[in-house]
Structure 1
Amino acid sequence: MSEPDNVSERVSEHQNLTDNALRHPVDLTIKNDIAYVTLNRPEKLNALDLATFKSLASIGRTLRKNTHIRGVILQGAGTDFCSGIDVKSLMKNSSAMLTLLKKWLPGSANLAQQVSTNWRKIPVPVIAVIQGRCWGGGLQIALGADFRYVSADATLAVMESKWGLIPDMAGNMVLREIMPKDQALRLAMCAEPISAHQAMEMNLITQVCEAPLQEAQHLLSQLTHKSPDALAAIKRLYTRNWQSPDWKMLMMETWYQIKIITGKNQRRAVKKQLDPDNAKPYQPRKRW
């Protein structure tokens, strides 16, 4: 009996290794016009290797061009959202680190930063659904989302200073929008995980949820009843101009409003309010 059992165990182990090798580091599934982007290295706590960075950046660019999707849910497979950088894979590989950090222009986003900034460029609501660990690079990715729905048992950390580094994956742009500077400094300097409820008190996240995925889906189900052009314009206005001087905010409000009212979706939004039984479905959004 022992030999068949051992053979079975070896076959099972080989199959697991094969499955892991073939598995994409990030999965993209679109269902009912909602894109589900799933970090898919659960055996590594969804730690970020170079392939994961490249896949996330590519998916972000693809979704930005998709005019049919109405929302994005960003999540992690298994028990954790993302435990941060895969240290063994990246930090001991100088060529991989250079691939992450190189950029054509000083003010453009490199590969390490695109996995955060790309979510801000997609003209639909992006919700990060967070459970377990959301540390280091994982938190930087989640900060690029518009909303962060977090399970009560999750922990979050700006972890880079633990490795003698600074946070450099573009999450700093969001921290300056949502947190006082002293709180952001403490997070970045101490590199200590905080609880979901502490993160909520610090305004780092949107909501602590018993079932964050269901809450995210519920929010998107509400937002799909709104004009996709209105939502795209609101996101672009707030993301690009939240820190702008008054004159620029006023100018962009007017420009985006003109762009909206010259399209069909605004008229269809009015029809849905005044005569819902005869209203037509929204058209795919314009380019924003």
Structure 2
Amino acid sequence: MSGTEHLTVERVGATLVLTLNRPEARNALSLPMLAGLHDGWLEADEDDAIRSVVLTGAGGAFCSGMDLKALHGTGPAADDACRARFKADPDLHWKAMLRHHRPRKPVIAAVEGPCVAGGTEILQGTDIRIAGESAVFGLFEVRRGLFPVGGSTVRLARQIPRTHALEMLLTGRPYTAAEAARIGLIGHVVPDGTALDRALETAALVNANGPLAVEAVKACVHDTAALDEAAGLALELERGLPVLGSADAKEGTRAFAEKRPAVYRRA
């Protein structure tokens, strides 16, 4: 499994758990963390035994955004090999932050504590979002005279009502977990300290389903988002009919009739 000093990787059943691991800096994004994230997404994409991914943070925090000290050369130094990777692929950090990469498997966010600036931007690349009661969200970039180039000026208004998206982007104010759930940024609010447990429970439900179906459904939802209804429905048939004709679909219906768990073979 991949991983760096700022990103830990663990396998829990068929779920890959990626943990942002700089608790002393509230998991602010560093080059080693971004490199580890990039590798984690690729590992999940390439390993068919992985059915889902959970993204979380260590030490009671999710992510406080980019390390502003690192932007000015005073933050933690990455080693030469890590810096060489970013030089060789100038797009690597955007892939890590899910701006220029969409994982094939469902990604479930388990949020505790701060999930702000770059944290809220990464969040928008996840599929299912669960947060502890004390979690805090927000896009603080304008407060520092910065621009949220992680995708928020495009994605946020497509995920939550436009008025709420613009308020979050233009005021730079913090949002509680309850408010984030009310406007649709997250799906569930749970007691503090239990977001990861709830995320793993949700991942287990996903993992029990047919992998071809799960991945095709996710891809179709994303790929039809910007299409008109007629074009979207046409793409749905293109994506869905092969799944309906698969051996896994036959196994799923047979298992239901026989009142037993299905054994899917990704075929």
TM-score by length of 1: 0.80
Contact 1:60 1:119 in 2 (8 A): no
What is the match of residue 164 of structure 1? Answer: 145
> Does 2:255 correspond to 1:282?
no
Unaligned runs of 5+ in 2: none
Partner of 2:109, secondary structure, is: strand
Partner of 1:237: 220
Which of 144, 149, 167 is 2:125 aligned to? 144
Q: Give the partner amino acid of 1:245.
A: D
How far apart, in 2, do the equivalents of 1:263 and 1:83 lie? 43
Quote how far apart the aligned CAs of 1:102 are. Answer: 10
Question: What corresponds to 1:15 in structure 2?
Answer: none
CA 1:101/1:239 → structure 2, altered by over 3 Å: closer, same or farther?
Answer: farther
Deviation at 1:172, TM superposition (A): 3.9
Of 218, 222, 231, 1:248 maps to 231
1:72 matches 2:58:
no
Q: Post-superposition shift, 1:154?
A: 0.8
Query: What residue in structure 1 maps to residue 168 of structure 2?
Result: 187
CA-to-aligned-CA distance 1:42-78 (integer Å, 9 cap, x gap): 1111101122222212221221122111111100010
Within a 5 Å distance, the mapping from 1:105-144 to structure 2 comes to 110-117=91-98, 121-144=102-125
Matching residue's letter, 2:102:
K
Q: Is the 8 A contact 2:157 2:166 kept in 1?
A: no
Instruction: Identify the residue that residue 44 of structure 2 maps to in structure 1.
Output: 63
Higher helix share: 1
Q: Judge conservation of contact 2:213–2:243 (CA < 8 Å) in 1.
A: yes
Which ranges in structure 1 are unaligned for 5 or more consecutive residues? Answer: 1-21, 105-109
2:23 paired residue among 29, 38, 42: 42
Give the whole-Å Cα distance in 2 for the aligned partners of 1:171 and 1:33.
Answer: 30
The alpha carbon displacement at 1:111 in A equals 3.2
Q: Distance in 2 between matches of 1:68 and 1:204?
A: 30
Query: Which of the numbers 213, 220, 236 marks the counterpart of 2:203?
Result: 220
Q: How many residues align?
A: 255
Residue pair 2:99, 2:150 contacting (<8 A) in 1 also = no
1:268 to 251, 254, 259: 251
Q: CA RMSD in A?
A: 2.6
1:82 counterpart = 2:63: yes
Name the CA distance, whole Å, in 2 between partners of 1:221 and 1:41. Answer: 27
Q: Which has the larger radius of gyration?
A: 1
Distance change in 2, residues 1:56/1:194 (3 Å): same
Residues 1:241 and 1:172: Cα distance change in structure 2 (over 3 Å): farther
Query: What do the CA deviations read for 1:106-144 (whole angstroms, capped 9, x no partner)?
Result: xxxx33432332797223221100011111111111211
The amino acid that maps onto 2:39 is S
Q: Residues 94 and 100 of structure 2 are in contact (CA less than 8 Å); yes or no, is this contact kept in structure 1?
A: no
Letter in 2 for 1:246: E
C-alpha displacement of 1:166: 1.3
Cα shift at 1:276? 3.2
Measured against aligned partners, the alpha-carbon deviations of 1:217-257 in whole angstroms (never above 9, x if no partner) come to: 22222222221111111100001112211222112111112
